[in-house]
Structure 1
Amino acid sequence: MTPAPPGPLNLDKLFAARLQAVRARPYLATALFALHVVEDRRVPTMAVDRYWRVYVSPGFVDRTPVEELAGVWVHEVAHLLRDHHGRGDRIARLHGLTGPAERLRMNIAADCEINDDVYGDGLLAPEDAVDPGFLGLPEGLLMEEYIRRFRLGPHTAGLAWLDCGSGADGLGREWDLGPDGAHGLSEQERDAVRFRVAQGITGRPGNTPKSWQRWAEEAFHPPQPWRELLGAAVRSAVSGSGAGEDYTYGRPSRRSAGVPGAVLPSLRRRPPRITVIVDTSGSVSDGELGSALLEITAICRAVGGRRDLVTVLSCDAAVGVAHPLCQAAGIPLVGGGGTDLRRGFARALRMRPGPDVVVVLTDGQTPWPDARPSCRTVVGLFPRSWDEDDPRGRAPNTPPAWARTVVIGSAAPAR
């Protein structure tokens, strides 16, 4: 007797599993609720695309217990948070990997990165979950490391069914709705979800697994020469002349030893004041503005979390309101016109008290001040590819020699 085809998708069961996943992993709640459900019978189990849609097979939901479905929810959203599709694309370009077989290998490697610690503590592992032990590999590695350590063969033949979707390996599927389909998240919205999750993990790590803490601190905010450069500029500003502004008896001066019976105060050095000028002209994309907010958060960490020492100016051809830093995600970046960051510099240098360091986040398509500012200047450039044969293209203006310059997100050495 032929079994009856599965009925419509059981959304009550599916959403009950998501709620259980949120209870087990509350730091992933923002990401779990950002996923939009799409019913599709062509999907083997559950799969995601890079636009944060989750494609669900009704039959899979019917035959899977709620406890296992909760773990699948967390597994699929982990692919998106960890940018496995983008990383898969980079691996494919770097090593010339093409075809579904290599993408399956990427999916397996991505699953090994996730599954070594995603289950337990309220999440039940499916019987067929692929973990590093299945391949005889150590736990705690990244997708890029796993993919170098195994090849497809007889030992992986039973994994041909595995398909977490284009969100896990970057290869489009027949069921994908694509960038113009309904309910997909824009690049800025996707970055905002990742930022909120990473912010929650770093703010209250608690018993969060080490892999998620590593993702929040390193994978999502990778160590870059840009941040090392900023730290060096901040330390230089602290130790430079004029950084001491008052005396304190909390730490007596070393000269007190030469004046018996007297306690002399020591000079108190304050942390540096930093003004961040963000280029909000029309040539800067929403994704780059999202990156600017992340860099502002890193700048705040560089001064020990003293948000009162960081001021943000948005600037295109005019300068917006100076915003003291309360929370990076809440800073309005207003603009969209032409670019003249000289106005931003002029506004920053007129502020009282003045900044010790000016940090400029820009695509470089701006005129620069003729004279060297009275404070240290660090320029973070958004990467640009310029086609000289494109009449609409415009080469970025090289920042002046008096500015320390680095390309944001680049491994290239700073100038």
Structure 2
Amino acid sequence: MFAGVPAARLALDRTKLLAGRYRAAKLRPYLASAMYALSVVPSWHLSTMGVDRHWRLYANPDFVAAHPVEELAGVWVHEVAHLLRDHHGRADRLRHVDRDDHLRVNLAQDCEINDDLIADGLPLPASRVEPSTFGLATGRLFEEYLAGIPHTHVLHVQCGSGAHGIPVPGEVGADGAPAVPEVEAGAIRRTTADAIRAHVRGRGTVPFGWRRWADEIAEPTVDWRRLLTGALRQAVVWASGAADYTYARPGRRSAALRGVVLPSLRRPLPRVAIVVDTSGSMGDDQLASCLAEVTGVLRAVGIRGNRVTVLACDADVQAVTRVTKADQVQLSGGGGTDMRVGIERARRGPEPPNVIVVLTDGLTPWPDEPAGCRLIAGLVGPNPPDTPPWIETIHITDG
């Protein structure tokens, strides 16, 4: 909501405003470096406080005068959260129909931030927006909240281009207050994420939304399908490199040597075994999704038909099937978990595989030594246990 211009403007009480920052940094020290990176700009173009995408904080002197230091501390945390969580960058990636309604985007972003601040016990002004304002659940990202924000703007918030990404009249240009370059902003985010994770390791309390954000920054999500495809392609190339000589087809140079038959080089097509964990801890939807992905990759690299064997396994091998499509596989089992059984069964088959892919939640013992072939483990679900270092590991998450 834009503020009207008062007849007589107050001077910004910087001492009070910076006291709010000091209090916020003392209460939440893991956010201190980010808050102290902000440049302060007195401004009347916003009714409260806001940020631009260059890490400048705009403070309306009337708003600062009307609120106690304790609430100003909460607003400091709120505004820097827009920048740390890269709300303007994420808003840029929205569909145009949502992107253009930047005030509604801002409301959704405030819901994402304020549910954490309220859970954290930080005082906020009474006019705050939170998920319950719209009857929404807590703990969501702003992209999820957006669908529940009404298109009729019964509420107006304006946190600046540092939130929704749309330039706001009144924000200073490139020659204004000091700005934080994007490279430095990325470093601030990583430093803050490290500080949050260190605080948690020291048994400090941090709201879920901040923990989730810090984990994402420290361990960015990578598309597991791309990783799995790369690992399988590399494994197939590695196995195909085992060229050998064969007399089944004479070498091309045999014609030049009368009465002599030369062998030709043969590059065998690898065999692949897929060991699927069907224990009680694995869901059917997870299994079907992962298996479809693996078989699709194998078809793409030319491995199909009788060169693929699928073994459904829990504490024992329940079924061994040769397949050409994922929907031909019968997933059975549901007991305990020991993928060593499936790996060993695959190795001892009549045609041992060159590559073994294991799809499991990781709650299984592993062989004590390499299996004598390329072994790739697709670990399904959050926080799976570690695997032996000689196993290529792909973490498979929902989405």
- Are 1:188 and 2:183 an aligned pair? yes
Q: Which residue of 2 aligns with 1:81?
A: 84
Q: Secondary structure of 1:42's match?
A: coil
Q: Does the 8 Å contact 2:85/2:213 carry over to 1?
A: yes
Deviations 1:146-171 (A, max 9, x none): 11223222xx42x22x1111111001
Match of 1:225 in 2: 223
Q: Which residue of 1 aligns with 2:50?
A: 47
Contact 2:87 2:109 in 1 (8 A): yes
- Offset at residue 226 of structure 1 (A): 7.0
Q: 1:84 to 1:73 in 2, by over 3 A?
A: same
* Residue type at the aligned position of 1:193: I
Q: Percent identity?
A: 47
AA aligned opposite 1:108 = L
Give the distance between the partners of 1:64 and 1:143, measured in 2 at CA: 27
Separation of aligned partners in 2, 1:180 and 1:173: 16
Secondary structure in 1 matching 2:90: helix
Determine whether 1:13 maps to 2:8. no
For the 8 Å contact 2:41–2:177, the answer to whether it is kept is no
Residue identity opposite 2:214 in structure 1: A
Give distance in 1, aligned partners of 2:145 and 2:52: 22
1:141 and 2:140 aligned? yes
Query: Are the counterparts in 2 of residues 40 and 58 from structure 1 also a CA contact under 8 Å?
Result: yes
Contact between 1:71 and 1:119, CA under 8 Å: does it hold in 2? no
Distance in 2, Cα, partners of 1:96 & 1:152:
11
Which of 205, 208, 213 lines up with 2:206 in the alignment?
208
- 8 Å CA contact 1:24–1:121 kept in 2: the answer is no
CA distance in 1: counterparts of 2:118 and 2:39, whole angstroms? 23
Q: Tell me, what secondary structure is at the counterpart of 1:47? A: strand
- Structure 2 vs 1, CA of residues 87 and 197 (structure 1 numbering), >3 Å: closer, same or farther? same
Higher mean C-alpha deviation, range 139-148 or range 174-183: 174-183
Name structure 2 gaps, 5 residues minimum: 1-5, 239-367, 371-383, 393-398
1:361 corresponding residue in structure 2: none
Instruction: Output one character per residue of 1:163-214: Cα deviation in whole Å (capped at 9) or x when no partner.
Output: 1111110010112224454310111110010010011112331211111010
Cα deviation digits, residues 125-155 of structure 1 (max 9, x gap)? 21111001010111111111111223222xx
Counterpart of 1:27?
30
Structure 1: distance between partners of 2:107 and 2:133 = 11
Q: Structure 2 vs 1, CA of residues 226 and 120 (structure 1 numbering), >3 Å: closer, same or farther? A: closer
* Aligned-partner residue type, residue 223 of structure 1: T
> Residue 47 of structure 1 contacts residue 165 of structure 1 at CA under 8 Å; is this kept in 2?
yes
How many corresponding residue pairs?
A: 241
Structure 1, unmatched stretches of 5+, are: 241-266, 270-301, 310-355, 357-375, 377-410
Aligned with 2:40: secondary structure? strand
Q: 1:115 to 1:98 in 2, by over 3 A?
A: closer
TM-score (norm 2): 0.54
Paired with 1:220 and 1:172, the residues of 2 have a C-alpha distance of 30
Verify the 8 A CA contact 2:193 2:217 in the aligned structure 1: no
Report the 3-state secondary structure (helix = DSSP H, G, I; strand = E; otherwise coil) of the residue aligned with 2:19.
helix
Q: Distance in 2 between matches of 1:218 and 1:207?
A: 18
1:200 aligned partner, one-letter code:
A
Distance 2:168 2:66 in 1: 24
CA distance in structure 2 between the partners assigned to 1:120 and 1:24 by the alignment: 14
The one-letter amino acid paired with 1:170 is: G
1:171 aligns with 2:157: no
The offset of 1:58, in angstroms, is 0.8
Q: Contact 1:45–1:57 at 8 Å: present in 2 too?
A: yes
1:197 aligns with 2:223: no
Cα distance between partner residues in 1 of 2:38 and 2:220: 25
- What TM-score results when the alignment is normalised by the length of structure 1? 0.52
Change (3 A) 1:220 1:131: farther
